[in-house]
Amino acid sequence: MAGAVASTLGHAPAAANQGRYQSNPATREASWVRRTLLTLGLAFLGLFLILPLVAVFTEALRKGWEVYIAALTESDAVSAVLLTLTAAVIAVPLNLVFGVAAAWAIAKHDFRGKQLLITFIDLPFSVSPVVAGLIYVLLFGSQGWFGPWLQAHDIKIVFAVPGIVLATVFVTFPFVARELIPLMQAQGRDEEEAATVLGASGWQTFWHVTLPNVKWGLLYGVILCNARAFGEFGAVSVVSGHIRGQTNTLPLHVEILYNEYQFAAAFAVASLLALLALVTLVLKQFVEWRHAVAVKEAAAS
Amino acid sequence: MTTATLAAPAADLAPKRRPRRVLPGFGPTLGFTLFYLSLLVLIPLSAVFFKSFSQGPETFWAAASAPRVVASYKLSFGAALIAAAINVVFGLILAWSLVRYEFPGKKLVDALIDLPFALPTAVAGIALTALYAGNGWLGRLLEPLGIKVAFTPLGVLVALIFIGLPFVVRTVQPVLEDMETELEEAAASLGAQRWQTFRLVLLPILAPALLTGFALAFARAVGEYGSVIFIAGNIPMVSEITPLMIISKLEQYDYVGATAIAAVMLIFSFVLLLAINGLQAWSARRMGER
C-alpha cells in the first residue's frame, strides 16, 4: 500500500482533544522539552519544505515580471500546458471509473483473493516512475512486443501523445480506488442492501445511496489523482521523446528550460506548477473539512 | 427489480453454504476491474520479466551487476535508507507536535506536510538545486564550511528527505490521535518518568506505524527520479541513482540492460510492498487490541 496510507481521508480527530494533553500532568512534557521539539520540528519543516517553495517563486521573479510573463506565454509553454491538460483530462476520468468499479466490487462483495487484488491495485505506487515509463517502451517501442505491428499500421504510441497518456494513467492508477475502498468498507452494506430489498436497481442504489455517502472521498481521490497527473515527470520523461511543442508536458518543459540555462523561464513555468500544488493543498484541506462535517452530521442523525 | 434480486430467492432454495449476494453489479465491476488492471498494469509489468528472461541468465546478470550499476544501487539504497531514518525521527517529532501541542499556524503546518505529494518532483528538484548550489541561499552558507551538497551524494540525500517526509508523519499521526491517555496516566501514577513512559509505553505502540512510515518512505525514495536528477550532478560511480541508469541505458538503445536493472528494482518493490502490507496488518491488529 505504498503511498496510499498518507493520502487516506476520514481520520477526524475529536475536537475535544484541544489542549487536553497539556492540562493533564501525565501526558505533559516539561516546557523546555516541548519548546525544543517544536523548534526542531518547525525548523526541519522550514528548511526542507518551505524554503524550496519560496525559492521557486523568488527565482521565477528574479528577472522581473516581463520575463516571467514571456516564459509562460511562449508557444512551447502554451503547448506544454495543453498537453498536460490533455493527459490529465483523459487519465483522471478513466481512473475515476476504474476506482468506483473496483471499490464497488471489493467493498460491497466477498470473494477469494480480495487482499491480493488490493495489493495489485497498489502496485503502481511502489513501482519507480522510470520503470513505469519503460514498460510501455517495451510493449509499444520499435523493438517492443507490438512495435513491428504498430509500425506497419503507422500508429505511434511511444514518443507520442498516447504514450504520455498511458504513462499518466499508470502513475495515477490507484488514487481513487485507494481512497474509496477503505471508505466504502467502513460504511458497510446495510444501506445498499436495504435499498435493493426495497426494489431499487443497482444504478439507483449507487446514485442515491452509495454516491452521496462517498462523494467527499471520491473528490479527494480525484484531487490527488489530478495533482499527480499534472506533475508526473519520470514516467512521462521516458515515453515522451522530448519533442518541443509536441510531446512536452509542463514538468518536461521545466527540465528543458533548466538544462538550457534559462533559469528564470524554468522557474516561471515551475512556479505555475507550484501554484497548482498549493491550490491542491487548499482543496484537499477543504474536502477533509467537509468530510469531517458530513461524518459528524451522520453520527448526530 | 433487477434479475439479480429476483434470482436471489431461487438460489436460496439450493442447499448451499455459499453466501448469497444481495447487491447487484458484482460481475461487471469485478470484470472491469480485472480487465483494466491487467491491461494497464499487470501485462505491461510482466513485459519486464519476459524481456529480461528471454536474454538468458548470463546477459541478465552482466547487465544487472555491471560496476557502474552496482555503484548506483549502493547510492540509491543507501541514501534512501538514511533519508527514511532521518524522516522517522523528524516525522515523529512533527506528528507529535501536531497532535499534542498548540501553536500558531498549526493548521497551515498540517496542510504543508503534504506539499511533497502535491509539488511536481521536477519543481522540487530544481528548487533544491537552486538552494544548495554554491551561489544558492543555503549553499553559500555551507560551502565555506567545506560542505558541498549540490551535485554530490549529499544532494541526493536532501532530495530523498524532501519527498519522504509526509509518509512518516501521516502514518504516525492517526495512531497518536487514537491513543488513549489512560496508558500514560497509569504509567505516571506508577511513578514512571516522562521519558520512561515514552520509551517503554508509547514507543512500542508507535513502532508498527513508525516502521510502516519508514518502509513507505524508503520504497518511494529508492524509485525516485524527478527530484533527484537535478541536484545529484549524475557523476558516474559517484552520484548516479539506479533509475537514472535505466534512462541512460534506454538512451543508448540498450533495452536489455535497462530491463535487467528494472527487473531488479521491480523484485525489490514487490518484496517491500509485501512487507508493508504485513506491517500494516500488524499495525491494524495493534490498534484493534486497544
A147-167, pLDDT tens digit by residue?
899 989 999 999 999 999 999
Q: Is the pLDDT of residue B17 over 60?
A: no
pLDDT in tens, B183-197: 888 888 898 888 888
pLDDT at A9 over 80: no
Task: Share the mean pLDDT of chain A.
Answer: 90
Contacts of A170 in chain B (CB under 8 A): 40-41, 44
Query: Is 60 exceeded by the pLDDT of residue A234?
Result: yes
Give the three cell numbers for residue B113. Answer: 506536510
Confidence of residue B2 (pLDDT cuts 50, 70, 90): very low
pLDDT at B6: 41
How distant is the Cα of A184 from the closest Cα of chain B, in angstroms? 14
How many whole angstroms separate alpha carbon A140 and alpha carbon A134? 10
Identify from B126, B171, B205 which residue to disrupt to test chain A contact, counting A C-beta atoms within 10 A and taking the largest count.
B126
Q: Which residue of A has its CA nearest to B251?
A: A238
Shortest CB distance from B33 goes to which of A33, A98, A196?
A98
Most B CBs within 10 A among A48, A106, A143, hence the mutation to make, goes to A48
Confidence label for B273 from pLDDT (cuts 50, 70 and 90): confident
- Residue contact A22–B101, C-beta within 8 A: yes
Give the pLDDT confidence of B76-134 residue by residue, as tens digits. 999 999 999 999 999 999 999 999 999 999 999 999 999 999 999 999 999 999 999 98
For A242-245, the CB contacts below 8 A with 24+ separation are: A243/A159, A244/A76, A245/A75, A245/A76, A245/A79
CA of B40 to nearest chain A CA: how many angstroms apart? 7
Query: CA–CA separation, B91 vs A45, rounded Å?
Result: 10
Nearest to A272 by CA among B251, B120, B266: B120
- The predicted pLDDT at position A5 comes to 43
Confidence band (pLDDT; 50, 70, 90) for B19?
A: low
DSSP B133: S
Top-confidence range, A170-174, A239-243, B255-259: A170-174
B259 pLDDT tier (thresholds 50, 70, 90) = very high
Q: Please judge whether A108 and B277 are an interchain contact, meaning their C-beta atoms are less than 8 angstroms apart.
A: no
- Contact between residue A83 and residue A253 where contact means Cβ atoms under 8 Å apart: no
pLDDT of residue A45: 95
Q: Do A201 and B161 touch (CB under 8 A)?
A: no
Measured between alpha carbons, how far is A236 from B120 in angstroms, rounded to an integer? 12
**Sequence-separated (6 or more) residues with CB below 8 Å from residue A57:** A271, A274
Q: Band the pLDDT of B28: cuts 50, 70, 90.
A: very high
Pair A254, A76: CB distance under 8 Å: no
Cell of A52: 524550496
The interface pTM score, or ipTM, of the predicted complex is 0.90
Which of the pair, B11 or A80, is modelled with greater confidence?
A80
Q: Which residue has the cell 528548487?
A: B127
**Dist. CA B109–CA B98, nearest whole Å:** 8
Is residue B51 very low, low, confident or very high in pLDDT (cuts 50, 70, 90)? confident
Give the one of B5, B44, B127 whose C-beta lies nearest to A52's C-beta: B127
Percent pLDDT > 90 in chain B is 64
Residue B93: Cβ within 10 Å count: 22
Residue B76, burial from CB neighbour count under 10 angstroms (0-12, 13-18, 19+) = buried
pLDDT, mean over chain B: 88
Residue A107 has pLDDT above 90, yes or no: yes
pTM for this predicted structure:
0.90
Q: Give B101 to chain A, closest Cα distance, Å.
A: 7
pLDDT given at position B4: 43
Cα B50 from Cα A145, distance rounded (Å): 10
Label residue A231 left, alpha or beta by phi (over 0 means left) and psi (-120 to 50 means alpha). Answer: alpha
Confidence of residue B210 (pLDDT cuts 50, 70, 90): very high
Q: Verify whether the Cβ–Cβ distance A197 to B22 is below 8 Å.
A: yes
With bands split at pLDDT 50, 70 and 90, how would you rate the model's confidence at A6?
very low
A238: Cβ–Cβ under 8 A, 6 or more apart, which residues?
Answer: A130, A132, A133, A134, A136, A137, A167, B247, B250
User: Across the A/B interface, how many CB contacts are shorter than 8 Å?
Assistant: 342
Q: How far apart are CA B262 and CA B48, in angstroms?
A: 7
Contacts of A41 (CB under 8 A, 6+ apart): B90, B93, B94, B96, B97
By mean pLDDT, which of A124-128, B76-80, B158-162 is the weakest? A124-128
CA B61 to chain centre: 27
Angstrom distance (rounded) from CA A164 to CA A162 = 5
pLDDT value for B9:
46
Q: Which residues of B182-207 are buried (b: 16+ CB within 10 A; e: fewer)?
A: ebbeebbeeebebeebbeebbeebbe
Say if residue A23's pLDDT is above 90.
no
C-alpha torsion A61→A67→A73→A79, nearest 10: -80
Q: Are B125 and B159 in contact (CB under 8 A)?
A: yes
Residue A26's pLDDT is what?
Answer: 79
Dist. CA A249–CA A76, nearest whole Å: 10
Q: Which amino acid is at A45?
A: L
Cβ distance A280 to B22 less than 8 Å, yes or no, reads: no
Name every residue whose Cβ is closer than 8 Å to that of residue A80 and which is 6 or more positions away in sequence.
Answer: A248, A249, A250, A252, A253, A269
Q: How confident is the model at residue A46 (pLDDT cuts 50, 70, 90)?
A: very high
Average pLDDT in the B131-145 region?
Answer: 92
Inter-residue contact B246 to B48 (CB < 8 Å) = no
Instruction: Taking residues B160-175, report their average pLDDT.
Output: 94
3-state per-residue secondary structure call for chain A: CCCCHHHCCCCCCCHHHCCHHHHCHHHCCCHHHHHHHHHHHHHHHHHHHHHHHHHHHHHHCCCHHHHHHHHHHCHHHHHHHHHHHHHHHHHHHHHHHHHHHHHHHHHCCCCCCHHHHHHHHHHHHHCCHHHHHHHHHHHHCCCCCCHHHHHHCCCCCCCCHHHHHHHHHHHCCCHHHHHHHHHHHHHCCHHHHHHHHCCCCHHHHHHHHHHHHHHHHHHHHHHHHHHHHHHCCHHHHHHHCCCCCCCCCHHHHHHHHHHCCCHHHHHHHHHHHHHHHHHHHHHHHHHHHHHHHHHHHHHHC
Q: Which pLDDT score is estimated for A10?
A: 52
User: How close is the nearest chain B Cα to the Cα of A58, in Å?
Assistant: 10
Element (H, E) at B180: none
B187 vs B161, higher pLDDT = B161
**Contact of A184 with A158, CB cutoff 8 Å:** no
Q: Note whether A48 and B161 are within 8 A (CB).
A: yes
Measure the CA–CA gap between A87 and A236, rounded to whole angstroms.
10
Among B22, B187, B225, the residue with its CB nearest the CB of A128 is B225
